[in-house]
Amino acid sequence: MAFPLQTGDRRFSKNQIQDKVTRALQTVALETLETREATKLSGGQQQRLALARALVTEPRLLLLDEPLSNLDAKLRERMQIELKRLQQQLGITTVYVTHDQNEALALSHRIGVMNEGRIVQIGSPQEIYEHPANRFVADFVGVTNLLEGTIGSECRPQTSIQNGYYYRVQTDLGQITVFASNSHQAGEHTVISIRPQDVHPLTQRPNEDGFWEATVETILFLGEWLNVRLRVGETFLQARVHPGWQGEARSTVYVKIDPERCTIIER
**12-26 per-position pLDDT tens digit:** 999 999 999 998 888
The confidence score (pLDDT) of residue 196 equals: 94
Of the candidates 119, 102, 178, 116, the one whose C-alpha atom is nearest the C-alpha of residue 146 is 178
What is the model's pTM? 0.76
**187-215 per-position pLDDT tens digit:** 889 899 999 999 999 999 988 777 889 99
- Tell me the CATH number for domain 3-109: 3.40.50.300
Instruction: For the chain, give the percent of residues with pLDDT over 70.
Output: 97
Q: Where in the chain is the domain with CATH 3.40.50.300?
A: 3-109
**212-227 per-position pLDDT tens digit:** 899 999 999 998 899 9
Topology of the domain covering 143-265: OB fold (Dihydrolipoamide Acetyltransferase, E2P) (2.40.50)
238/75: higher pLDDT: 238
Q: Where in the chain is the domain with CATH 2.40.50.140?
A: 143-265
Task: Name the phi and psi angles at 231, rounded to 5.
Answer: -115, 120
